[in-house]
């Protein structure tokens, strides 16, 4: 009987440890998913601003647009999506060369360079 109780307590302890480990893994996975979602939302916001409008469709100042273009360099994991958008922006602003768009041109080219190294 004592032997049986020893095994039952050991099984209970192992069950508790396994339950804790599974719960911890689920919590870490959920946290990582939430982080990835926040990262994607921030990237999406930067793409919107880099294109010249905010998420509600209002035009942003060129200073904000340039800052957003440079900020895209922090999202290297989304380079596959950012590079085509920046190339299209470069194409659109290429026809309207003036002193202001030269700053946009420079920001886009530098960001494309950084993202293409990844």
Q: How many domains, in total, are found in the chain?
A: 1
Range of the structural domain that residue 17 is part of:
2-116
Direct distance between the N- and C-terminal alpha carbons of the chain, in angstroms, rounded to an integer: 65
**Six-digit token string for 107:** 């920001």
- Tell me the pTM: 0.78
Q: What is the pLDDT of residue 96?
A: 66
Query: pLDDT-based confidence at 118, cuts 50/70/90?
Result: low
């Amino acid at each position: 009987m004592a032997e049986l109780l020893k095994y039952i307590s050991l099984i209970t302890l192992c069950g508790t440890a396994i339950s804790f480990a599974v719960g911890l893994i689920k919590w870490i996975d959920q946290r990582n998913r939430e982080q990835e979602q926040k990262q994607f939302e921030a990237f999406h916001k930067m793409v919107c601003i880099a294109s010249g409008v905010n998420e509600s469709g209002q035009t942003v100042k060129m200073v904000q647009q340039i800052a957003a273009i440079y900020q895209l360099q922090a999202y290297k994991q989304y380079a596959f999506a950012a590079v085509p958008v920046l190339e299209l922006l470069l194409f659109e602003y290429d026809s309207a060369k003036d002193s202001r768009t030269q700053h946009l041109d420079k920001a886009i080219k530098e960001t494309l360079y950084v993202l293409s190294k990844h």
